[in-house]
Amino acid sequence: MLQDRVDPSLVPFKTLPGGARMPAVGLGTFGSDHAPAGLVASAVEAALRMGYRHVDCASVYRNEPEVGEVLERAVLGGVPRDELWVTSKLWNDRHAPADVAPAFEQSLRDLRLDHLDLYLVHWPFPNAHAPGVDVGSRDSRAKPYLHDRYMETWGELEKLVDRGLVRHIGTSNMTVPKLRLVLRDARIRPAANEMELHPHFQQPELFDLVLREGIVPIGFSPIGSPARPERDRTPQDSVDVEDPVIVAAARRLGVHPAVVCVKWAVQRGQVPIPFSTRPANLLANLRGAVSDPLTEAEMAAIAGIDRGCRLIKGQVFLWKAGQSWEDLWDPSGEVTPP
C-alpha cells in the first residue's frame, strides 16, 4: 500500500453466484443535486488511481457520459476490464417493458462498455421526478407498487442477462414483503439489493433476509448522507458521524468518524458505496476497508446504536394524496395497498 494508493488486490470482495467478485467497497456517483457531472467524473478518475475498482452509477444521476470517458481512459491505460465492477440502474420512467432494453443500452453506450457487471431497478415505483424538485413534488401519473407490473420489468432485465449484456441483475430501495414476492417469482434471482445502510439505520430484518437468500447487500449513504437533498431532511434526522460510539472508535484509530462507518459496513458484511469529491476522503475511505479492523466490542456497540433513522425517505414517489413517506416502505409488513 503506497502513501496515496491502495493495492486493489488487498480490498475485500464478495463472491457472487457464478464466481464473479464484487469489491467490498465502492464509489457512489450520485452528486445529490449539488456536484456537477465533471466534478463527479474527476472523483471517479482519482478513485481509480487510488485503487478503487467498484463504481456505482445510474442514468438519473446525469453523469454517465462523463464517467464513461473516465472508465474508457482507465481501461485503455491498463486497468483490466475484469478488475472493474460497474453498476448502473433503470430509472423509474423506463419501467415499461419496451423501454427497458433501450434505457440499458443507452447507459452501456454512455459508460463506453460492452457489458455491465450489475443492473438494478432503481426504485420499485414507476414514478419519476424532475431534477432538484422539492419534497411536495409528485408525478401526475404516479402509481403504487404493482407486483405483476414490476415482474414485467424484471423479465426484461432477465433478457439482458440472456443476451450477455449484463452479468447480474438486482433490486434497490426494496422492502421485505416486496423482495419476498420477487424471490418467489423471478426466473433469475437478484444477485444484489442496494439499500440505505448506516449505523443509525441498520435495517436488520431486510439485511438478514438478503444474507439468508445469498444476495449481496450494497449500502448507500454509508456515512449518513451529509450532502443529501434538502427534500430528504427532517428535524428528527440524526447524524451518524457525531454519535459518541462512532467518535470513540475514530479516536482510537486516529481516523475521521466517516471512516469508522465504512469499516463497520465492510465488517458487518455489506458493500458500502460512499461518495466524495475530495481525494483525501476517497483515500481514507478505501484505506478503511483494508486497515486495522474494529474490535468485537466496537462492532457490538455500533449494533446497539441503530435508531431506525431513514434519511432517504422518497416522498416524491408517493402516489396519492394523504400519504406519508412511511407508506413507501410497507410499515405494516405487507405491501402498502394501492
Over residues 251-280, mean pLDDT: 97
Q: pTM of this prediction?
A: 0.96
Cβ–Cβ under 8 Å, residues 169 and 120: yes
What does the angle CA 179 – CA 333 – CA 171 come to, to the nearest 5 degrees?
20
pLDDT of 226 strictly over 60 = yes
To the nearest whole percent, how much of the chain has pLDDT over 90?
89
Task: Enumerate long-range contacts of 36-44, CB under 8 Å, 24 or more apart.
Answer: 36/63, 37/62, 37/63, 37/65, 37/66, 37/67, 38/66, 39/277, 40/66, 40/67, 40/277, 41/66, 41/67, 41/69, 41/70, 42/277, 43/275, 43/276, 43/277, 43/282, 44/70, 44/71
Residues annotated as catalytic are 61
Over residues 214-228, mean pLDDT: 90
Over residues 110-128, mean pLDDT: 97
Range scoring the smallest mean pLDDT among 129-138, 182-191, 274-283, 329-338? 129-138
pLDDT of 228 strictly over 90 = no
Check residue 31 and give its pLDDT.
80
pLDDT of 2 strictly over 60 = no
Residue 33 backbone phi and psi in degrees, to 5: 65, 10
pLDDT of 229 strictly over 80 = no
pLDDT of 1 strictly over 60 = no
Check residue 227 and give its pLDDT.
67
- Looking at per-residue pLDDT, the higher value among 228 and 240 belongs to 240
pLDDT of 4 strictly over 70 = yes
Q: Tell me the pLDDT band of 68, cut-offs 50, 70 and 90.
A: very high
Q: How far apart are CA 86 and CA 21, in angstroms?
A: 12
Check residue 133 and give its pLDDT.
81
